[in-house]
Structure 1
Amino acid sequence: MTALLLWLEAPLQSWGVDSRFGRRDTLAFPSRSGVLGLICCATGRGGEQEAWLAEMKEYTQTVAAYSRLENGKPDIQPLLRDFQMVGSGYDASDPWQDMLIPKKTDGKRPVGAGTKMTYRYYLQDMAFACALDVPEAYADEIILGLQNPVWPICLGRKNCVPTDIVYRGRFDSQEDALATAGEIAQTKRRAERFRVAHGRVEGGDVLTLNDIPIAFGLRKRYEDRQVTILEQ
């Protein structure tokens, strides 16, 4: 086993766990499924990846959240809500434009325009250090992928493009990785707000998240895990 440090920073990030089409929420921190999905993009792993995910299930991650400092205090930005209308403004008499209008399950157009309204939420100006345990056998492949991604990587959603180098080193433990993350944060004038630890840890709030991926692809499946939020 080896620990990799990922630095996840961007103007916008969105890490959904239980979202639906009409309302796409975000966690306050990167999800397990989001981080593994990022690695799949980086390494070119497509499809369900059940066998690989089964191996990765035995390993854990710890996340530290950093806000920018303004006048010596953390500058905590509110969630950004983006309102979008999908399928509006198209001419149904045009065969090409008609393909872009949302349809019912039977393939027919609904009564009216068929427009879908969605609300999408984003974290603003946050940075996260993710200390990720990985099998030694996959470490070199993952590092190469993060440095030279096969497919574009994003921080939760495709419009959340990282604005700094993601891969920040290979370590013997998550503790060593997070110590380096603290040094990176200092150079960026960022302060740690909270930490997300695997499992139950005394002194924090325990959450149950349905974000351990069992299969990606068209029919995604997940299992629950527990994490503890430790305020700093």
Structure 2
Amino acid sequence: MSVVKLRLAGPLQSWGSQSRFVRRGTEREPTKSGIIGMVAAARGLRRSDPLEDLLGLRLGVRIDQPGQRVPDFQTARRPRRDGSGEITWHALPLSRRYYLSDAVFLAVLEGDRALVEAVDAAVRAPHFPLYLGRRSCPPAGPVALGVADCDMAEALATQPWLASTRVQRSRRDRMVELATVCDVAPDDPRAESLRDMPVSFDPNRREYAWRSIVRDTVTIPNEHGVADSEPEHDPMTLLGG
């Protein structure tokens, strides 16, 4: 089994699983529907194209930098031409949308070597632009982190921490515990259900199925951490006699 690793980071991200009408929410971590949609766009698939090969990939997400959840209010107007040919503008309902600001995630897709290599190649040279959940959320920096011959759990536990240097230095521990969200079998006693498995992105018949996930943690090194035996710097000692 092999994996392809993706770095999902940007000023804003939005990963909705229950967006309805004028309220567009976001989960605290990337959704499978959002990541599969991004990969499908990278491979040049249209919204009406089948997704069967991608749906067989298992997904694991590590929350390297959770960011902040922020709201946004959006207004829009629609032009309408009256009988005289004059155009008037009509306001559409106010919508409330939520985003994750300054977040960083490690996403791992597990599957056959040929398929994950194809995903890696597509993300490096995408057919359509990549975005993090919504078109207004482009990624910051390269997304592809390469392919590895290991399973999803090993990849999540061994990939170096992707948080910014500022965040890593703010955590003085030499080892840090990071939350993970991974696909599991439906009969796993720890499983939660999320309606997040894309069956079709076709605008005329969008369809999502239930997905079983488990929330856990992994512990990884912090290269900017301070050893337990190393005393914290106290600048006031320089004033001593």
Matched residue, 2:25: 25
1:18-49 deviations in whole A, cap 9, x for unaligned?
Answer: 10130000011111111010001111111323
| AA aligned opposite 1:59 | L
- Tell me which stretches of 4 or more aligned residues in structure 1 moved more than 6 Å: none
Q: How does 1:141-180 map to 2 (within 5 A)?
A: 141-172=118-149, 173-180=151-158
Per the alignment, residue 81 of structure 1 pairs with 71
Note the residue ranges of structure 2 that are not aligned, 5 or more in a row: 169-175, 219-241
Q: How many residue pairs were aligned? A: 207
RMSD: 2.9
Percent identity, please: 29
Q: Which residue of 2 aligns with 1:226?
A: 212
What residue is the counterpart of 1:118 in the other structure? Answer: 95
- The aligned counterpart of 2:225 is none
Give unpaired runs (5+ residues) of structure 1.
68-75, 102-112
TM-score by length of 2: 0.75
Partner in structure 2 of residue 61 of structure 1:
59
- Give the secondary-structure state (helix, strand or coil) at the position aligned to 1:229: strand
Report what 1:129 is aligned to: 106
- Distance of aligned partners of 1:177 and 1:193 in 2 relative to their CA distance in 1, 3 Å threshold: closer
Shift of 1:155: 0.5
Separation (CA, whole Å) in 2 of partners of 1:146 and 1:26: 23
The Cα of 1:56 is off from its aligned counterpart by 2.9
Bigger shift: residues 148-157 or 168-177: 168-177
> Residue in 2 aligned with 1:209?
194
Distance 1:97 1:207 in 2: 51
Q: Check the 8 A contact 2:68/2:102 in 1, yes or no.
A: no
- 87 and 205 in structure 1: CA distance in 2 versus 1, 3 angstrom threshold: farther
The residue identity in structure 2 corresponding to 1:209 is L
Q: Which has the higher contact order (CA 8 A, sep 6+)?
A: 1
Query: Are 1:56 and 1:134, in contact at CA under 8 Å, matched by a contact in 2?
Result: no
Residues 65-112 of structure 1 show CA distances to partners (whole Å, capped at 9, x for unaligned) of: 012xxxxxxxx6541110011216x575596956xx6xxxxxxxxxxx
User: Residues 205 and 230 of structure 1 are in contact (CA less than 8 Å); yes or no, is this contact kept in structure 2?
Assistant: no
Partner of 1:15: 15
Secondary structure of 2:94 counterpart: strand
Residue of structure 2 equivalent to 1:110: none
Distance 1:91 1:42, change over 3 A: same
Query: For the structure 1 residues 198 and 114, does the alpha-carbon distance in structure 2 shift closer, same or farther, using more than 3 Å as the test?
Result: same
- Please say which of residues 55-64 and 118-127 is displaced more in the overlay: 55-64
Question: Structure 1 residues 46 and 186 mapped into 2: Cα distance closer, same or farther (>3 Å)?
Answer: same
1:115-136, Cα deviation, whole Å (9 max, x unpaired): 2110000011111101111333
Greater C-alpha radius of gyration: 2
